[in-house]
Structures are given as C-alpha cells and as structure tokens.
Amino acid sequence: MADVHLRHINKSFGAIEVIPDIELEIPHGSFTVLVGPSGCGKSTLLRMIAGLEKPTSGAIEIGGTDVTGFEPSARGISMVFQSYALYPHMTVAQNIDFGLRLMKMPAAEREERVKDAAKKLHLEQLLDRKPSELSGGQRQRVAIGRSIVRNPKVFLFDEPLSNLDAALRTQMRVELVQLHQSIGATMVYVTHDQVEAMTLADQIVVMNGGRIEQVGPPMELYDNPQTEFVAAFIGSPKMNLLPGQAIERDDIKSVGIRPEHLETHRENGKWAARVGVIENLGSDTVVYVETDDFGPVTVRLPGHHPLRTGDRVFLTPDEKHLHMFGKDGRKIHAKDVLSAPAT
C-alpha cells in the first residue's frame, strides 16, 4: 500500500492533447474516485497509473518511487476491469489463484491467500463453481479477489460496476467500502456516476476536458463547489443554475441553489412558477417547476406534500446556501448575496 503522486502529467495522441497538465496527490490508504463525463480523461489517467499508457511528459510516483518507465507488473498495482476478465474454463478458486501461480508462489501460501480473499468477499461456498454459474455481482467479487491475493500497493478500478443492475450496484458499493475498511489499501476508482463517487470516496477528483476541476471530500464538493461545472455535476438532483438576474446581479454569470434549499409558498416569494412533473420517491419528492422568468427549476420536498401538477407556486431560496459564479465559471465568494445591489 502506498500513496500515488502525479507530477505534471501530460498525454497527447498525435496532435490531440487529451490531458494538458495534471498534478494530483492520492494519499496512502485513501479511496480516491476519479469522476467526470465520458471523454474527460479519467480512464486515460488510470491507465497511465497502471502503466497501460505512457504519459507524453511528467512523472508517476507510487510509494515514493518514480515508476513512469516501469512495466505494469513492476508497479505493485492491481487493476479490476468492468468486464471481469475471468477465465470461463477455470473455477472461482483457480481464477483467484491464477496470478499467484504465474508468480510461482508455493502451493500452501497460494491456498492460504485464496481462502483469506474468499472469506473477505463471501465467496467461500463458491470456490468450485465456474464463472457461468455466478451472478454478475459474484463475478465482480472474483475479479476483486484475484487482485486482493497479490497484496498490491494500489488497487485500480475501471468502472467495475457499470455492467450490474441497480440493486447489485448498490450492494457492491457497500461491499467495496467494507473491503476498503477491512484492508486499508489505497484504491483509485474511475466512474462517470457521481452517486458512486459520493458514496464510495473519501476523496473525489472531478475531471472535465482532461483537467481537474476540484479535489476534496464528497461533502466538501457538494457544499462548496468551486466551479459551475462541479456545482452541476455533483448532486442528484443536480444544482439549479439560474442567471445572475434572478437575484438582481447582472455582474455574475449564474447563481446556484440546490433543490433542497428552496421553499415553496402559495403566495409571495422570490420567483413565480408553475408545477410540472412530480416524482414521488417515498421519503422525499422531486418537483420540476417552470419559473415565469428563468426557465426550469428543480425542488426537493418531504415525501408528503400538498402540491399538484399545474399548481401556481412561489419559490424562495435559502440565502445562506446560494452559490455565485463569475463569467469564467468559477465561484465568487461574497456575503449577503440577495441584498447586493445590481450593477
């Protein structure tokens, strides 16, 4: 287990620069999630850490050692792919054991490691089965088990849950967190799903267009997004972004307010609106309204509420939870936003 440092990493494919210049520290023992839309460079970055892609310039350090020129097998890492990459003719035990046999590890030690991994991953009763006899979640646990037995310094995960249904993804998220707590390993995880990022990570790296937008703990990014992109990307439902005129500010690009920080009233409020679609989710309700002046807005309410489609309502934002963004898309830090004079 070790920390990972990326020093001025640049990656180009021919004349196309996909990662311009990245500096990133992944602390020892952290669960760091790289998240962003398709094409943002997160998988390319992971592959460079793994040694499957070479950076055009810059250095990669693992545990204080510059591994930029090392082959993948010499980096002390293990990678779990979304396709599982299991051998169909081998049993679960043989799949987990495969890498150890290539390392020519003594049989007794191999057996002990396989048993230990199977216990951690609840695979003890499945060791004699073939991959075709397993569910998607069980196959993913086998792929993870194959990584665990090697005792790598760093675990790398490339969208490992994307092939699972919603219920299995939720279950596997819990199991991955428990695994991380159990072994305390450094884990680097790539996903386009911000819900996975929020629930798994102790450090999130939000990427966009090959650049890092913001790094920090999940709730720090949620409560204090530093760019308009992070504000819109982190959170479900996403943050409402309205023009500055919504708070009488022509000098800013946009103002953000999360759905749960809006109050609805039958009479009087900041913005007049009409209720459109209502999504009843049980413990809470998501309401999509159309404001008279600034387009669609999303509101999160308690599960039981009096609103109906077509109702006329007024919205009032919680002033202390407003986020202002300048013309460059970066956050503006200011007090008393609503009372600030228009320019």
d(CA 272, CA 262): 12
What 3-state DSSP class applies to 339?
coil
Chain-centroid distance of CA 309 in Å reads 34
d(CA 235, CA 195): 8
Token representation of residue 330? 């970066």
Element (H, E) at 62: strand 57-62
d(CA 296, CA 155): 42
Residues 5-32 have pLDDT tens digits of 999 999 999 999 999 999 999 999 999 9
At residue 338, does pLDDT exceed 70? no
The pLDDT assigned to 85 comes to: 83
Residue closest to 273 by CA, chosen among 261, 285, 287? 287
At residue 339, does pLDDT exceed 60? no
d(CA 278, CA 255): 24
What 3-state DSSP class applies to 226?
coil
Q: Tell me the pLDDT band of 83, cut-offs 50, 70 and 90.
A: confident
Domains of the chain with bracketed CATH: 4-229 (3.40.50.300), 240-332 (2.40.50.140)
The pLDDT assigned to 99 comes to: 87
Do 220 and 226 touch, CB atoms closer than 8 A? no
Residues 308-324 have pLDDT tens digits of 999 999 999 999 999 99
What is the chain's length?
343
* Amino acid letter, residue 289: V
Please report the sign of the dihedral spanned by the C-alpha atoms of residue 32, residue 35, residue 39, residue 41: negative
**Strands 254-257 and 31-35: what pairing?**
unpaired
Q: Tell me the pLDDT band of 340, cut-offs 50, 70 and 90.
A: very low
Do 3 and 28 touch, CB atoms closer than 8 A? yes
The pLDDT assigned to 342 comes to: 38
The pLDDT assigned to 136 comes to: 86
At residue 168, does pLDDT exceed 50? yes
d(CA 161, CA 157): 9
- φ/ψ (deg, to 5) at 201: -80, 150
d(CA 60, CA 14): 21
Rounded mean pLDDT, 86-90: 92
d(CA 195, CA 183): 23
Cβ neighbours for 200, distance < 8 A, ≥ 6 positions apart: 31, 33, 173, 176, 177, 189
The pLDDT > 90 percentage for the chain reads: 79
**What is the pTM for the complete model shown?**
0.90
**Strands 295-302 and 284-291: what pairing?**
antiparallel
The pLDDT assigned to 334 comes to: 57
